Structure 1
Amino acid sequence: MWQRLDDWDKRCFLILNRAADRPLGQLAARQLSRSGDGAGYALFALVAAAADPHQGPLLFGLLLMAYAIELPLYWVLKTRLRRARPCQVVNGCRALVDPHDKFSLPSGHSAAAFLFATILCWYIPELGPWCFLWSSGVAWARIVLGVHYPGDVVAGASLGTMAALMSMNMLL
């Protein structure tokens, strides 16, 4: 069963990764991936905490707790599962960005983006569809850039969403 899932994951990767063959696909993937880097989350949380004295500190606390749940789980999974990145094993695939580490599963960018989107949906419900469109774009970008399989980003998205919901359950 695991072999069939792995084969399916690789086939889906090859289909989605084709966007890297087009300059616009590469540009969009690079920008979306960069938008999922960690500094933006911290900046947003600090600005929100300062600008909204009523709910901003709660948002800050939710994000802090959620990342405190997500990051250790992410590192345990990453170092235990040790799945090679597609750019390391798929013929003809190359990474269009430098990965932060050498293992693929789960996607940290996807985890962080879905965590942030889930909590931001609570904070500004009107942005919900846009938050998940953006976080899905971050996940897609990691596939296009050759550093994750679709299963990696699904696992990351699940991890981030779970961590966000757990923190909300504890603090709200």
Structure 2
Amino acid sequence: MDVTILNYVQDHCHNRFTDFIFTLLSRLGNGGAVWFSFALYLIVFPHQRQQALMLCFALALSHLISQILKPIIGRPRPFVTYPGKTLLIHTPSGYSCPSGHSATSFAAATILCLAGKQFAIAAFFLAFGIAFSRVFLFVHYPSDTLIGAGLGVACAFLIMLLYQF
């Protein structure tokens, strides 16, 4: 199923517009850049600082766990397993599963949702776009992004639980 979806996206979803959009979305997810921007925005307002800190902790935790899991799972990236495709982004190193972009994006979107922010729905759309961009760009399998998303949601709930203690 993973390879079928991956091949479908590669064969039917590329054009000049989508190549630009999904490359941009992937770059926004690099290092959690867009999500740290949300945190910086929130930290400016005194009554939003705890949400900003939870957002930062969720990003850090989801990133850390995804980086620990990658060599344990050891799944090669699609462009390694199926060479011959020209990548639209710089060739990422390391393993494929879980997707760190997906983990941090869904951790951030979940924190924003649980904190009741008015842009939570937009954050989930952005998180989904960033996750899909990684499949679109042939650097992750769909299951890598689903596992990353699940990891991110779990990290966000853990941070929220720890915050309540």
Do they superpose with TM above 0.5? Answer: yes
Which of 141-150 and 86-95 deviates more?
86-95
Matches within 5 A, 1:41-120: 41-50=35-44, 52-54=45-47, 56-120=48-112
8 Å Cα contact 2:70-2:94 kept in structure 1: no
Deviations 1:56-82 (A, max 9, x none): 220122123223422231112101111
SS in structure 2 at match of 1:102: coil
The answer to whether the Cα contact below 8 Å between 1:139 and 1:153 also exists between their aligned partners in 2 is: yes
Specify whether residues 63 and 125 from structure 1 end up closer, same or farther in structure 2 by C-alpha distance, changes over 3 A only.
Answer: closer
Residue in structure 1 matched with residue 124 of structure 2 by the alignment: 132
SS of aligned partner of 1:113? helix
User: Could you list the runs of 5+ residues in structure 2 that have no partner in the other structure?
Assistant: none
Per the alignment, residue 162 of structure 2 pairs with 170
Scaled by the length of structure 1, the TM-score of the pair is 0.85
Structure 1 pair 25/125, CA: closer, same or farther in 2 (3 Å)?
A: same
In 1, the alpha carbon distance for the partners of 2:95 and 2:123 equals 27
Q: Bigger CA drift: 9-18 or 149-158?
A: 9-18
| Contact 1:86 1:93 survives alignment (8 Å) | no
Runs of 4+ in 1 over 6 A off after TM superposition: none
In structure 2, what is the Cα distance between the partners aligned to 1:153 and 1:99?
18
1:120-150 C-alpha deviation (Å, 9 max, x unpaired): 1233443232221111111111111110110
Judged with a 3 Å threshold, the aligned counterparts in structure 2 of structure 1 residues 131 and 64 are, in CA distance, closer, same or farther, namely closer
Measured against aligned partners, the alpha-carbon deviations of 1:73-98 in whole angstroms (never above 9, x if no partner) come to 11121011111111111254332212
CA distance in 2, matches of 1:139, 1:115: 12
SS for the counterpart of 1:21 is coil
Q: 2:17 matched to which residue of 1?
A: 24
Q: 1:129 to 1:64 in 2, by over 3 A?
A: closer
Rate the CA distance shift 1:30–1:152 in 2: closer, same or farther, 3 A: same
**Are 2:28 and 1:35 equivalent residues in the alignment?**
yes
Given residue 50 of structure 2, which amino acid in structure 1 is its aligned partner?
A: L
Distance 2:13 2:101 in 1: 18
* Equivalent residue, structure 2, for 1:3: none
Change (3 A) 1:100 1:60: farther
Structure 1 vs Structure 2: percent identity of aligned residues? 31
